Chains A and B, each alone.
Chain A
């Protein structure tokens, strides 16, 4: 069935370091791919999305490219800030109405 596998955490980085969180997926057809972020005590918020192969989603300095050949959607940011500390979830939607989430990767950025 459809599923998402993302890199396990926790991840701890110094401020201004480069971030990569890996995400690979299994799906039939052409799903939409998402990254959601969850700050402490809050619900999930959409960070970025891509709906077809080679699309690049971007927001707040974060980027992810939909790679069909490697079934991946890795999240990257060139220079992280303390305020980026949160849990990041990769997700896919095969139909637009069903969503499958990864287990989440906790990021802590230290000054």
Chain B
């Protein structure tokens, strides 16, 4: 079974530039999550999708972050414009979407904003 795929693995940009990350979840997984993991901290949920609808985006900085999951499969997370404090690893995870389920994580995209 293929795991959660993310790209790119690494990205370096200057502040005020834009960046986009891509995630392909495990086939058949209804729920998709984007997390931000700042160095030395645990993952913080940014947004959660159930199929192509948003379940929770309460911690997403909507003035600069956006995410979509067209057709309920792949997802993209965009930052525009980026700030220095956005430097982090962005993790995508997916799950079946049933209760008591397990999340499967991708390897993440490491973003450095200079």
Contact = CB atoms under 8 A, between A and B. Distances in A.
A94 to B, nearest CB: 10
Given A97-B55, A98-B48, A98-B56, A43 B42 contact: no
A82 interface: no
A104 B103 CA distance: 17
Contacts, number: 58
Given A51-B100, A97-B99, A98-B48, A43 B105 contact: yes
Nearest to B50: A97
B105 A95 contact: no
Interface stretch (B14-22, B67-75, B90-98): B90-98
Interface in B42-72: 42-45, 48, 50, 55-56
Contacts of B45: 98-99
